[in-house]
Amino acid sequence: MLFHYALVDDLITKEEFEQRVEKKIDECGDLVDEPTAAMMVVGELGREHVKIKGLSAKSSLFSFFGKVVDKTEPKEFDRADGEKGWVATLLLGDETGTTRVVLWDEKAGAALDVTAGEVLEVIGRHPGKNTREIYALALRKVSIEINIPQGKNGNGSLSNEPVDLDVLLVFRGEPRSYTRRDGSTGEMVEALVADAAGTARLVAWAPELLLAVSPGSCLHITGAKPNQRDEGRSYSLDEKSTVVPADLEISVPFTPPGSVGDQGIYSVTGEVKQVQQPRSFTTRNGAPSWVKNIVITDGSDNLNVVLWGDHALVPLATGDKIEVFHATAKPGRFGNIELAAGRGSVVRVPNERARPIVFSGTIIPGPGCTFIDNGSERYLIDADFPAGTELQVTGTVRGSRILPEEIVPVAITPETVTAHIATLKNALDE
């Protein structure tokens, strides 16, 4: 009874809780046991059990059921004050996902008494603003069934031991400098890979491992260390890792827009149905950034997608084919589902071959996009110029888009106006 009272000890006294439980047993004619009656009282007080996906809410306390997927043994550590402490972690799952449950000190010993497949009832809270872990306040074994669908158990392991991967390299960034704790500097490369289980982030602390391979290649990787604290799958590589090309056929498992849930990591593809202009904003650290909302469709279902940062600056128009990799799903403000593509995501327009171009034309605004038009040809362009501005653009063209490297304003003269009118007349005559 004390187990369930912990959920409502801020609402009623212990004595009142016990009285309500005894009354509930009497009302049910002794057909329920004490734990069941206690759960019923807790529910009447508004503190019902939630599914694991509901643990992302901002409640101060949660109660839920979860099947043991994996566990770590209790580990001793030194506290800042010199005292010894113990910690163990459980990976619990249900049909909606998985969560890490951390057991501190005397509760850590419970990890020795549970095995994979058992179901636990847990009362816990988030550690600060971290919604990916639960600190257990109380837990106990229960006799209920939980079935975890394939793909809902995350990595399915708490192990940090290096693993081997056979993957498709979806994206590889450029080397980036970072500063270590000791003040020295180094370089790293971020990438995105995929296999039959979906996409995963990859960070190479030894950049040369990935610089010799190109996106679209299939790779055999050894010594990839899982990062359990990232949302979704994530691995890191170091000097002990190896990366070699592999003769494999691996494709990205895309999720249909209508099958995207309100939580998790997804990759989707479809046609752009609606697109808004990117909006600028200032991040918490004072840096400028952008956001753009689009709607994609597969012909049957629509999906709202929010593009953040540089992804928001990818020129898009209705009818474009788009691929979004490793994006995070969440409930939207109006009850719909949104897929957010930000840091760690990849957004691309497939089947576009790049070629150099020098193009002169007039800036024309479109629905959520900007065109440059010379009267016979028109390209999308990411450029912030008033409508009617005459420009000469040097850059790269991919399909219907120009990626500018240099933009030079062109003075409007009677000759250029006459030439544009003549070009437009010829196009209309044809």
Residue 415 pLDDT: 64
The contacts of residue 179 (CB under 8 Å, 6+ apart) are: 185
Token look-up 């009818």 returns 319
Q: How far is CA 412 from CA 184, 359, 382, 409, in A?
A: 54, 15, 22, 9
Task: Write the pLDDT tens digit of every residue in 144-168.
Answer: 888 876 555 555 677 778 899 999 9
Task: Write the pLDDT tens digit of every residue in 77-125.
Answer: 888 888 899 999 999 988 888 888 999 999 999 999 999 899 998 888 8
Q: How many residues does the chain have?
A: 430
Q: How far is CA 174 from CA 16, 17, 210, 394, in A?
A: 63, 60, 10, 23
- Comparing 25 with 1, the larger pLDDT belongs to 25
Per the confidence metrics, is the pTM higher than 0.85?
no
Give the C-alpha separation, 265 to 104, whole Å. Answer: 29
Cβ atoms 79, 113 nearer than 8 A = no
Token look-up 């040369």 returns 208
- Residues of the chain above pLDDT 90, percent: 33
Direct distance between the N- and C-terminal alpha carbons of the chain, in angstroms, rounded to an integer:
85
Q: With H, G, I as helix, E, B as strand and everything else as coil, classify residue 312.
A: helix
H or E segment to which residue 94 belongs = strand 84-94
To the nearest whole number, what is the mean pLDDT of the chain? Answer: 84
Q: With H, G, I as helix, E, B as strand and everything else as coil, classify residue 91.
A: strand
Residue 123 pLDDT: 84
Give the C-alpha separation, 222 to 227, whole Å. Answer: 15
Q: At what angle do helices 14-27 and 34-44 cross, to 10 degrees?
A: 110
Task: Write the pLDDT tens digit of every residue in 325-375.
Answer: 999 988 877 778 999 999 889 998 886 667 899 999 999 887 666 888 888
Give the C-alpha separation, 380 to 363, whole Å. Answer: 10
